[in-house]
Structure 1
Amino acid sequence: MEGKWMKRGFLYAFCAAALLLVAPGCKDDAVEDSGTPDTPQAEDVFSQLNRDIADMQSLAEGHVKVLTCFTEADGSAVMELDNNHVLNIYAEQEKVNSVPLVGIDGNGYWTYELDGSSGTLEGNDGQPAPALSSTGKSAVTPQFRLSDKRYWEVSFDGGEWKQLSTRQVWDVDKAGKSAFSPFASCSVDGDKVTIYLRCGAYEINVPVEGKATTDAWNKFVAGADGNVLLDFSYAGYRHGEEAPPEAAWERVNVRQWMDDYKVGARQALLDIMAKYGLDKSSGNGNANVVIYFPAGDYVLHNEDDNTKDDNKTSGDTDSRGNNTSHAITMFGGNFVIKGDGPDKTRLIMETPMLPNNNSMYSSPTLITIKHNSFLTSDVYDVTGSAAKGTFSVEVANANAFSEGEWVCLYLHDNSPELVAQELQPYEWESTMTNISEEGVQVEDIHQIEKIEGNTVTFKEPIMHEVDPQWDWQLRKYRHYENVGVEDLCFVGHSVSDFKHHRSWEDDGAYKPINFMRLVNSWMRRVRFTSVSEAASIISCANCSAYDIDIDGNGGHAAIRSQGSSRVFIGAVRDRSNRPPADQWSSSNIVEGAGQYHACGVSKPSMGAVIWRVSWGSDACFEAHATQPRATLIDCCTGGFMQTRQGGDAEQVPNHLADLTIWNMNSINSPAPKGNGNVGTEFDWWRSGWKYWKILPPVIVGFHGEPVTFVQDQVKLDESNGTPVEPQSLYEAQLERRLGYVPAWLNALK
């Protein structure tokens, strides 16, 4: 009965390997990465030690329950506890005599083995230290560390540290994680799991009861060979670990500026930008200002802002003549545009932003906050392989970089062999000219955590395997940081009867804001009313957009990660109104139809998370081609209308590897149409048709309106028709990494 979930119970005896705890002030003495895949990082050891010791006692006392147990054929297993901790059992354990094994003896006291001998741990009073309250004494909890002189020390309940070992320890730094495992093996028999320990003779019979977590999650936790999930938990502002702060910088009141200088809102904003160095492409990386719009209406664009452009050709003119609209372009970091709330502060586009040429996409965006450059011209070749999910690459001349620096793991290579490999299991088709001519394009932006020799280690996992036979490079990434837009509403006047690609007025006349080349920046508590496109986050990294409403007249798109890395888009409620695309009529307005393209991705986006977003019945998530990868559509609700993803024919596939759709609640999923015929299954790669192509996705817990997927076109289709646990993959992965769900994320649910 392996891999199934049993009844809940408690662990009455337990034995654990004590792991290295980083001693205060001596981080260099902790276990460091030796370069082998199984060697734990120092922070991993710290976390595992705290969990192992505390969970050992809590389970033995019955204070913590075992929720799930997932076993593999090789004898490895993973147990999930109801305190959100995970216990690992490795198929094979490395033996290191200088690692103490700590357990509980038959009388309920702490015992240990070290360097081939065993003994009883003594508490602060010199007496055997009680592990269980059944001894009649107050139980105490041991912790272990290496002193700065490399001796093992033990402390109880945070008390005095006492030396335990009699010799200095030098051989544990290169030990693998399995060397610290407390368990020898486990077996499953009916409703019980029996755990066999490496220390002592205890056999632990554990009834298990809990929510039935899905196999996809269990394999991810176990690191099993069949795991198909990437770790998306690093998405968002500061890797999702904290909310952006409420800025304490100098506050400049736009309304007061307007009154003092007798200017309109747009001019006031331009003046403030000039004062704080945000108006020039040289940019001010430390503006340190809050541009505050108190409650009220502020017109930031109308006819008066347009100028005559005599360089426009007749083919570029529109019904308004040669007039040109101009974006408000802000260059810099460390500033916030802030209002008094989306129901109180409104930034208004009274008239459309006119197109720069006859393209329907050429209207400028009202406000663009950007760095004017992207990557430096210096190129550093990647010289070693790296697997998906790992953190390090080998780079020629790594000393050119510094820890904390932001860089781009970059690939633009049109080698036919690489293109064929990238499209597997499908084959290149003649209409796919972008990938064949421009090549496979990966732009994965990272922050450097550590440099050792020519090994560069990132803070975030790599989302595409690296093979140095192709033209992989590491390049320096130019950007600004700490930009916020919050507590306001952008108001446009998009057409009431939107029709996709009918004209520039439909697709691009009212685009209020873009981020470009920013890191650790955010939009929150924002409303977009009657806009063509709400926001694009372009060539950025670790930006967040959340707690957002889209309403009024529907338009072209919602919020997208465009060529960015690890963007978090969450708690977006898209309720805009427009005619349905497939039965368009100017009089047939559907309330809540949503933007034509809901929140999603385009261009070489990597690691984006679309979390708990709700969109309309006549929409679907965006996957707008030109090589997005590794996108998580997580716990979202809305229409699942095929072909709403977008993308020009020459730029397909719409999405490459690792599209993951988790607990999608479909509210409208009509049978797809193939070449004019109604089909019975939802296909992901339509051969012979130039538009609709997505590499095999991972689909888990798809429910709501029934949809059947073509099974040989999916990597995984688990629990179709029934939602799964964990409910949100992003939350569960973040919780597993941090040990808790951050307060900012809980507050959004």
Structure 2
Amino acid sequence: MDMKKRTTRRGRRSVGTLICGEAPTERRPPIFASVLVLMFLGSSVFSSAETSKVWKDWVSGKPVIPDYSWAGYKYGTEAIPDVTWEVFNVIDFGAVANDGKSDFDAIQKAVKAAEANGSGIVFFPKGKFLVAEKEGRKESIKIHGANIVLRGSGSGQGGSEIHQKHHYVPEDTTKKWTTPPVFSFETPGSGAYHFRLRESFVPVTTVVEAAKNGTFRIDAANASKFKIGQTIMLHMQNTAANDVFLKGLKPRDIFHEIVDNGVSVAEKHTVVKIEGNTLFLEEPLHTDINPSHGWKVYDYPTTQGWGVEDIHFSGNSPTPFVHHKDYIHDSGYFAVEMIQGKNGWIRRCRFTDLSHACYATGCMATSFLMNTVDGHQGHGNFNTKWGYGNLIGLCQDLSDIGSFHGCGISHEHVGGVIWRYESVGETKQTPRCGGPDFHAQFPYCSLWDSSVANLRNNGGASFLQPNHLVDLTFWNFEQIGEKIYHDYWNMPKTAEEKKDMYFGKTKIVYPNYIGFHGVRSTFNEDHLGIVESYGTPVEPESLYEAQLTHRLGDAPSWVLEAKSEWGKVKLMHKEAGQ
């Protein structure tokens, strides 16, 4: 069978049909003894690619894959704005570039002044600003107010640099992943992104009627306490829902959370209309809602309009990096985190010699665009977790051997998109790491779109696995580095499988591979979902762009403009890092 032409449907028992005219079936004989072997060279020219049948089916209305276009700033409907709010220059608050003294307090004062104003641009002129001149710092520079943007004078040579000399220290040093970032954007009273973090976090009401995946409404027991514009969280955890989100796969015994308590699902939404006890939502549901599973509705406060742009963040993270050695290696040098924001952004920034670049934690409709990680290897780079509809796009990892864990969507995130990401550092002589990283704790409905990376070193505690639930799609993914063995549910058995198993310990519910190409890879085909055009890219080149254009009726101008601008920023960052 021609693997470039073959399309199959796996693990979709609720659909019950296979693509490309194959007869409906529950199971069919595996190809090549249940192992799909892929051998191909490099990436193909997209101009010669054939139009994907999956795409044709989706456009015609067949629910073969989700609509992943609901991601990014304003869910892709608008460009990130060049805001013209009042400027608060850190120099006016006591910061002095290039003087070798701490600028931490001056920067915090500038932030507070902008917050008191109701909005503002905290501006950094050209030069190097210091935020960790003393050892043992435990606090971040905090931003709580809406519409606050940190703006530099460029992230290339001669621009604005914010430097972290010493590592920060977490409250509990045994929790190696909890070191605070230099800048922490936080919604007051945040913690709602994960219901377990606040014992006082109680539901407002419950869902009483079924709702379909892709629809925009829920029926509540009592909607009287909600208002238009309010952000809410729909949460459910129930072992009865395991079969839905695992598509019938049996959890392994070591997946203690899902075995003991059930899959935990948390979708964030915005109320746009209320009729009686029906709440109409801005964003589509990405799952069916079964009220018998115990869906609850929570208030979910968010803060609008956070931004970071045109800044070079640098640190002194340890080298060589040793995974889980201590909190210094794992998270001691961490630039920016946004917690429970909506319609925020980090763009045109560069992150050098850091444990982590930036996180979107519990955010909605937030974009990380045109950013670069470089220097020596760190723990991770860009990550979005606990949120809904966030976009990491036009970003690259130029670090020497790639971040230990690469670009990530994790921890109950829903509708996340990685768009045109490149882990170029992995192409060097010793490609060791990079991602994609789903870690664990039940993300679902994620897209890796037209990206280049190595399927290695996904993380996540085994008791919180699987790493990803349903509806993960790799679209025109280019595999680089060494060959990889993948088995998304079983553990490796043979010596060869164990030797090549870098991503093989990763447990994912029937991932879709459409237009996957690059170096030789080996998969257990029994645990794949949709399989189309292995070894050859497909059209459209970018699923995110195509679905967004389809939804809006026309291609948004910001996409073309961002891709054009990224070519210049990308070159600037590369030259600055040399």
- Per the shorter chain, which TM-score range? 0.7 to 0.9
- Give the corresponding residue for 1:405: 230
With CA pairs under 8 Å and 6+ residues apart, which has the higher RCO, 1 or 2?
2
Alpha carbons 1:354, 1:509 under 8 Å: kept: yes
**Secondary structure class of the residue paired with 1:301:** coil
| Cα displacement (A) at 1:520 | 0.5
1:331 CA displacement? 1.3
Cα displacement string for residues 136-172 of structure 1 (whole angstroms, at most 9, x for unaligned residues): xxxxxxxxxxxxxxxxxxxxxxxxxxxxxxxxxxxxx
Tell me if 1:358 matches 2:194: no
User: Does the alignment pair 1:631 with 2:454?
Assistant: no
Instruction: From the superposition, tell whether residues 562 and 475 of structure 1 become closer, same or farther in structure 2 (CA, over 3 Å).
Output: same
1:242 alignment counterpart = 78
Report the 3-state secondary structure (helix = DSSP H, G, I; strand = E; otherwise coil) of the residue aligned with 1:422: helix
Task: Go from structure 1 to structure 2 and tell me whether the alpha carbon gap of 1:339 and 1:385 turns closer, same or farther (over 3 Å shift).
Answer: same
Q: What is aligned with 1:476?
A: 299
Q: Post-superposition shift, 1:747?
A: 2.1
Q: Give the distance between the partners of 2:133 and 2:178, measured in 1 at CA.
A: 18
Q: Is the 8 A contact 1:302 1:352 kept in 2?
A: no
Deviating more after overlay: 228-237 vs 263-272: 263-272
In 2, are the aligned partners of 1:685 and 1:713 still within 8 Å (CA)?
no
From the superposition, tell whether residues 681 and 405 of structure 1 become closer, same or farther in structure 2 (CA, over 3 Å): farther
Rate the CA distance shift 1:722–1:211 in 2: closer, same or farther, 3 A: closer
Query: Where does residue 614 of structure 1 map in the other structure?
Result: 422
Q: Distance in 1 between matches of 2:167 and 2:549?
A: 44
- 1:648 is matched with which residue? 461
Report the counterpart of residue 742 of structure 1 in structure 2.
556
* SS of equivalent to 1:650: helix
Moved more, 729-738 or 263-272: 263-272
Deviation at residue 668 of structure 1 after TM alignment: 1.8
Match of 1:341 among 141, 149, 154: 154
Structure 2 residue 116 is matched with structure 1 residue 303: no
CA displacement at 1:685 relative to structure 2: 10
Q: Name the TM-score, length of structure 2 as normaliser.
A: 0.81
CA distance in 1, matches of 2:224, 2:260: 33
- Given that residues 455 and 484 in structure 2 are in contact (C-alpha distance below 8 angstroms), is that contact kept between their aligned partners in structure 1? no
Amino acid at match of 2:349: V
**C-alpha distance in structure 2 between counterparts of 1:671 and 1:288, whole Å:** 49
> Which letter maps to 1:738?
L
Cα deviations across residues 390-415 of structure 1 (Å, max 9, x unaligned)? 2221112223222222111221x23x
Distance in structure 2 (CA, Å) of the matches to 1:439 and 1:539: 21
| Equivalent residues of 1:684, 1:693 under 8 A apart | no
Distance 1:746 1:563, change over 3 A: same
Partner of 2:525: 711
For 2:506 and 2:186, how far apart are their aligned partners in 1? Answer: 32
Report the residue type matching 2:165 in the other structure.
E
Render the CA deviation track for 1:255-284: whole Å, top value 9, x for unaligned: 23226999841110122233344xxxxxx7
Residues 744/653 of structure 1: CA separation in 2 closer, same or farther (3 Å cut): same
Match of 1:175 in 2: none
Distance 1:697 1:72 in 2: 21
- 2:435 maps to a residue whose letter is C
Partner of residue 103 from structure 2, selected from 265, 273, 278: 265
Deviation of 1:678 after TM superposition, in Å, equals 1.5
Contact 1:671–1:681, Cα closer than 8 Å, also in 2: no
1:228 pairs with 2:64: yes
Which secondary structure state, in structure 2, belongs to the residue aligned with residue 708 of structure 1? strand
Corresponding residue number in structure 1 for 2:489: none
Q: Distance in 2 between matches of 1:335 and 1:393?
A: 33
Q: CA offsets, 1:305-333, max 9 Å, x none?
A: x3xxxxxxxxxxxxxxxxx5322222121
User: Is residue 2:543 matched to residue 1:729?
Assistant: yes
Of the two, which has the highest radius of gyration? 1
Please give the alpha-carbon distance, in whole angstroms, between the structure 1 residues aligned to 2:141 and 2:494: 44
* Correspondences of 1:436-455 after superposition (within 5 Å): 436-455=259-278
- Could you say which residue in structure 2 is the equivalent of 1:326? 139
CA distances 1:235-266 after superposition (whole Å, capped 9, x unpaired): 01101111221111110111232269998411
Distance 1:660 1:681 in 2: 26
In structure 2, the residue corresponding to 1:545 is in which secondary structure? strand
Q: 1:553 to 1:449 in 2, by over 3 A?
A: same
Q: Kindly provide the amino acid, as one letter, of the partner of residue 298 in structure 1.
A: F
1:393 aligned partner: 218
CA contact (8 A) 1:706 1:721 kept: no
Deviates more, 1:506-515 or 1:264-273: 264-273
* Matches of 1:223 and 1:259, distance apart in 2: 57
Label 1:325 to 1:400 Cα distance change in 2 as closer, same or farther (>3 A). closer
1:274 — aligned with what?
A: 112
Q: CA deviation at 1:669?
A: 4.0
Q: CA separation in 2, counterparts of 1:613 and 1:211?
A: 20
Partner SS for 1:607: strand
Q: Counterpart of 1:614 in 2: which secondary structure?
A: coil
Question: Among residues 478, 484, 495, which one is paired with 1:665 in the alignment?
Answer: 478
Amino acid at match of 1:353: Y
Structure 1 position 377 matched with structure 2 position 167: no
Per the TM alignment, residue 71 of structure 1 is displaced from its structure 2 partner at its CA by 11
1:737 positional shift: 0.9
Offset from partner CA, 1:646-686 (integer Å, 9 cap, x none): 00111110111111100001112424283572229998997
Q: Which residue of 1 is the match for residue 385 of structure 2?
A: 562
CA distance in 2, matches of 1:709, 1:347: 44
Q: For the residues of structure 2 that align with 1:501 and 1:743, how far apart are their CA atoms?
A: 43
1:272 partner SS: helix
Residue correspondence of structure 1 range 96-115 to structure 2 within 5 A: none
Judge conservation of contact 2:203–2:296 (CA < 8 Å) in 1. Answer: no
Tell me the C-alpha RMSD between the 2 structures.
2.7
Is the 8 Å Cα contact of residues 70 and 389 (structure 2) preserved in structure 1?
Answer: yes
- Work out whether 1:503 is the aligned partner of 2:331: no
Shift of 1:374: 4.4
User: Any conservation in 1 of the 2:95–2:106 contact (CA below 8 Å)?
Assistant: no
Compared CA separation, residues 440 and 573, structure 1 to 2 (3 A)? same
Question: Do the aligned partners of 2:485 and 2:502 also contact (CA within 8 Å) in 1?
Answer: no
Per-residue CA distance 1:199-244 (angstroms, 9 max, x = gap): xxxxxxxxxxx973111111111112xx321001110110111122
Gaps of 5+ in 2: 1-18, 23-47, 193-200, 427-431, 487-491, 564-578
Alpha-carbon deviation of 1:491? 0.4
Residue 57 (structure 2) pairs with residue 219 (structure 1): yes
2:402 is matched with 594
Q: Distance in 1 between matches of 2:499 and 2:243?
A: 27
Superposed CA offset, 1:568-597 (max 9, x none):
0001110102xxxxxxxxxxxxxxx21111
